[in-house]
Amino acid sequence: MTLKEYTKKRNFGVSPEPSGKTASANKHDALSYVIQKHRATALHYDFRLEWNRVLLSWAVPKGPSLDSSVKRLAMQVEDHPVDYASFEGVIPEGEYGGGAVMVWDEGTWTPESPDVNAALAKGDLKFTLHGKKLKGSWVLVRTHGWGSSSGKSWLLIKHRDQYTSTKDVTIEKPRSILSNKLLAEIARDGGGDVEKAATGDPGYKPRKAVAAKKAVAAKKTGAPSKRAKRKAAE
């Protein structure tokens, strides 16, 4: 596992992302897991599993599904540093991956495959997630269709267990587990493109829209508007 590609793609003098140092050997049994919601060129969810002192990473365009009958495309991308798991903020536009990043879920994972390296090489990694939003048994399976020639195309699938559900967890639980913010709020607070981040961000209401809604409510109840109050004062 190497962070050479990760480092090559980023300008750390501009981007607030971690600089890419490989973590020390994990002396504990717990391996970290994180999903980051990321609005770059397109909205997607970055699925990351700690292994061999880095975060193995896959971009999941539609996000994870709790429905065991649903197969989500997961494109493997470059390994990320372990400390990337806590990164939440805005990557400047024009930089690689420019856009807002949210820590959507985090926790630990346990391999179900007896030999993780062999499972990765085979393209069939089974594991259990112990996250705040995602739990239970899952599998990553390398595909043999589109993108299979590069070996980067996988499917993320939920195994049937007590955590299986037909509810869309990305809609039901859209907020950051670190800041409790929506992606557009992270973009707004970090000086990013709010309109871009708001795409696919359920629950976000621009401040102008909220103000307009309060004005309409006041009109319906007969409450005087600010303009009316000013005229009365004159």
Number of domains present in the structure of the chain = 2
Output the average pLDDT for the chain. Answer: 88
In this structure, the answer to whether residues 155 and 229 fall within a common structural domain is no
The alpha-helical segments, DSSP class H, found in the chain are: 4-8, 116-122, 169-172, 183-189, 194-198, 207-221, 226-233
In this structure, the answer to whether residues 100 and 182 fall within a common structural domain is yes
Residues 6+ apart with CB under 8 A from 3: 20, 21, 22, 54, 78, 79, 80, 81
In this structure, the answer to whether residues 135 and 71 fall within a common structural domain is yes
In this structure, the answer to whether residues 179 and 214 fall within a common structural domain is no
In this structure, the answer to whether residues 222 and 121 fall within a common structural domain is no
166 pLDDT above the threshold of 80: yes
In this structure, the answer to whether residues 60 and 153 fall within a common structural domain is yes
What is the per-residue pLDDT for 205? 80
Domain enclosing residue 81, as ranges = 4-203
Q: Return the SS3 of 9.
A: coil
Percent of the chain predicted with pLDDT > 70: 82
In this structure, the answer to whether residues 60 and 13 fall within a common structural domain is yes
In this structure, the answer to whether residues 162 and 216 fall within a common structural domain is no
Read off φ and ψ for residue 98, nearest 5 degrees.
-55, 130
Min mean pLDDT across 1-5, 50-54, 88-92, 157-161 is at 1-5
In this structure, the answer to whether residues 111 and 9 fall within a common structural domain is yes
In this structure, the answer to whether residues 146 and 229 fall within a common structural domain is no
In this structure, the answer to whether residues 96 and 211 fall within a common structural domain is no
Helices (H) and strands (E) in the chain, counts: 7, 9
